[in-house]
A and B are shown apart, each in its own frame.
Chain A
Amino acid sequence: MKARVEITLKQGVLDPQGKAIANALEQMGFAGVAGVRQGKVIEIELAETDARRAEESVRSMCERLLANRVIEDYTVELGI
């Protein structure tokens, strides 16, 4: 089973890279860009076939390593 983890900075945490991208888009003439947040995507191949157990395991990975819960949020999608 495949899991896809999306990690983003928490709302309220300054994202200088997102800000730079927003500025760049604006200068390129893309009007109406209200905000940009940059994050990362991590794809994980799991041997686990049970969706509930897989999700539990990936959430634990996120809590313990993949995301820094001081500044980051994450979402987990399974079976893509």
Chain B
Amino acid sequence: MELIVLVGALVFFLAIGVPVAFSLLAASMAAFFVLDIPMLVVFQRMAAGVSVFTLMAIPFFIFAGDLMYRSGIAERLVKVAEAALGRSRGGLGQVTVGASAMFGAVSGSAIASASAMGSTLVPLMEKKGYDSDYAVNVTVTSAIVGLLIPPSHNMIIYSAASGIGVSIGDMFLAGIVPGILTAALLMFVAWRVAVKRGYEKGSFPGMRAFLMAAVIAIPGLMAAIIIMGGILSGIFTATESSAIAVIYTIIIGTFVYRSLGWDLFIKAATQSVKITAMVLMIIGAATAFSYALAILEVPTQLANLITTAVDNPIIILLLINVILLLLGTFMDMSPLIVIMTPILLPVVQKIGVDPVHFGIIMMLNLGIGLVTPPVGSVLFVGAAVGKIPVERAVKTIWPFYGALLFALMVITFVPAVSLALPNAFK
């Protein structure tokens, strides 16, 4: 009964066009009323969902990206990439997959990756004649790759939630091949779609022009080096690096390129808070919604359903994937890891699945949830920086979903993809 109120209200509000954040909020309020939980808890959960330190990467990277775009730094960067890869069709799409994967690898956060890459690369892809929806699709799906390539704070959460001491070192090693596999599949799809849509082939401008472009772009290229180097050498955390990116961009935009004035600066700031508010209001409201789902024990009951219903290992793994994908459409990644790991891990261990292997399945599966509506924070960031409605992005995202699902199936049913590397180091 309570669950019907919760989901029914959400679907109704979403369908008639109430903004996603307010749909979630109104549905949560209805559910809290039925569940006899004081109404102010809805708003406490919302505030708690918004004030999370790691989420600061969203406004900061969007701000940095916007500043780079407005001050012309980003354009110089793309001239280099274009000069280097211009000859292949959809080359910029592949650059985005590679850059996102690398960035996500270092930052460990899909949403940071989507914020940083989306706000710089999407406008540039558009300028080069790529459709916005294509640019958004490439950016958001490749942001997921960073969840698999170490370091990844979600793997650390998984290790703690497992309660059986899954080694974080093993998890990190296990993610590398699946990460590369997923990136390769996405690059393939990005290329296929680009060819099909007939995106223009670039041309190599010659070595001299390429070097010229590279030299002019050096201060911009340094941004990437400072961010990644700073994280890897322990000067700052991944979250802090996003603020450093803003400060660095302000400095070179103002003093080196001299293209960043007060007006542009304020515009970038207000622009960034608008996009941030769009996404964080949804994350906050989804936190309240998840609270109601948790009280109703929806995740637990779904998990119990499979364990009692079947005993065929292949079907169990498939069902687990379906359930995680389903839950992932409504709930965020880290709370799901915390809730589902202790329930599902004993089940899969009984059918002989290695905990490290299962962890990797979970990372990719819940990562896919971040790019699926109705609650997909990474998709929302992408659509917001790409300035297109979420539906327009989703309408053409299917080939990319296909690549992710294919990767998920390979990773699920071929344990060696995950386990070969950690086993080799034992």
Query: Are A and B associated in one complex?
Result: no
- Taking Cβ atoms with an 8 Å cutoff, the residues of B that contact A are none
